[in-house]
Amino acid sequence: MSPSRPAPRAVPPAAAPALALLALLALPGGSLAGPGQLNANSGLLPAHKKMQIVGGMAADIKEFGHQVSWLRAGRHMCGGSIITPEYIITAAHCCVELNLTISEVLAGSTIIPSKGRGQVAQIVDVYAHPDFDPMTYTSDIAVLKVYPPFRMDESVRSIPIIDPANSPHTGDPVYVTGWGKLSEFSSTAATILQKVKVQMKDFETCKARYGEIPMVLTDTTFCAAADGKDACQGDSGGPLIYKMGDKDYLLGIVSSGKGCAVKEFPGLYTDLRNERMRSFVSKVTGMKL
């Protein structure tokens, strides 16, 4: 990948693979892409760089009970957030090369591999946003349906999606969690859940900076970062939350960015304040947002 090109939490594919993937995801009539449409020969799909936390610290799953690990063949692939006992929000780019026979979701464990800790559910349905664009990461959102539904307890709980009327402003603190890499060039991922506090960044400034690469940011994305702190490989699909009092709200989904904790290039997150993202979640889950 060219150094002038942003390094999303999943590496952007070359032009031809991108078109092939987009054809799979953007189904006629605006219908939702299901697992059958997300599978394809590996030669047509990008090699993903899944994000991870940089500059954070160890966290306890009891503090972030909505956080899940999406496992592929027993290995952590992406993060996600529990929004109901049977539905998980994650990133659309995590759905590439999906194989449901070797995929499962782990909840309620601080440590991965879990070795018997937490709860495991199978993925029975996958819905990627039909407008997801693997070149720009526009509409980078997907919903997973799992079975059996998760049992809510002190380590497993759902998180409400934020009301746009109560959203944070530029400079406000927000939090990212995940089991991604601890630095961009690390060869290993975290085994203990990590958390990091970052700040909301001015979107127009962020958009202009990414435009120099060039990368076009749309209204389905927002920016957040702090010096030496960011999501990174392995964190894709995981939550960015906003705390109001003693309550946590799901504000965004870890999506992409130029490298990890690269100065002047904040991390990019799918914006759950965006009406199209909210309508998609409502259509899939029946939730009223």
Render each residue's pLDDT in the chain as its tens digit; 289 residues.
233 334 434 322 222 223 222 222 322 233 344 433 333 222 232 333 333 468 889 999 999 999 999 999 999 999 999 999 999 999 999 998 788 899 999 999 999 987 888 999 999 999 999 999 988 899 999 999 999 999 999 999 999 999 999 999 999 999 999 998 887 777 677 899 999 999 999 999 999 999 999 999 999 999 999 999 999 989 999 999 999 999 999 999 999 999 899 999 999 999 999 999 999 999 999 999 9
Catalytic option among 81, 155, 236, 256: 236
Every domain of the chain and the residues it spans: 57-285
HEC profile of the chain: CCCCCCCCCCCCCCHHHHHHHHHHHCCHHHCCECHHHHCCCHHHCCCCCCECCECCEECCCCCCCCEEEEEECCEEEEEEEEEECCEEEECHHHHCCCCHHHEEEEECCCECCCCCCCEEEEEEEEEECCCCECCCCECCCEEEEEECCCCCECCECCCCECCHHHCCCCCCEEEEEECCECCCCCCCECCECEEEEEEECCHHHHHHHHHCCCCCCCCCEEEEEECCEECCECCCCCEEEEEECCEEEEEEEEEECCCCCCCCCCEEEEECCCHHHHHHHHHHHCCCC
pLDDT at 15: 27
CA 288 to chain CA mean position, Å = 21
CATH second-level architecture of 57-285? Beta Barrel (2.40)
Catalytic option among 133, 140, 230, 235: 140
**Closest C-alpha among 108, 245, 252, 105 to residue 175:** 252
pLDDT at 193: 95
pLDDT at 53: 66
Q: How far is CA 19 from CA 15, 16, 123, in A?
A: 6, 5, 26
User: Is 140 tagged catalytic?
Assistant: yes
Cα 208 to Cα 255: distance, rounded to the nearest angstrom = 18
Cα 8 to Cα 107: distance, rounded to the nearest angstrom = 25
Its pTM stands at 0.83
Catalytic option among 81, 93, 133, 256: 93
User: Is 236 tagged catalytic?
Assistant: yes
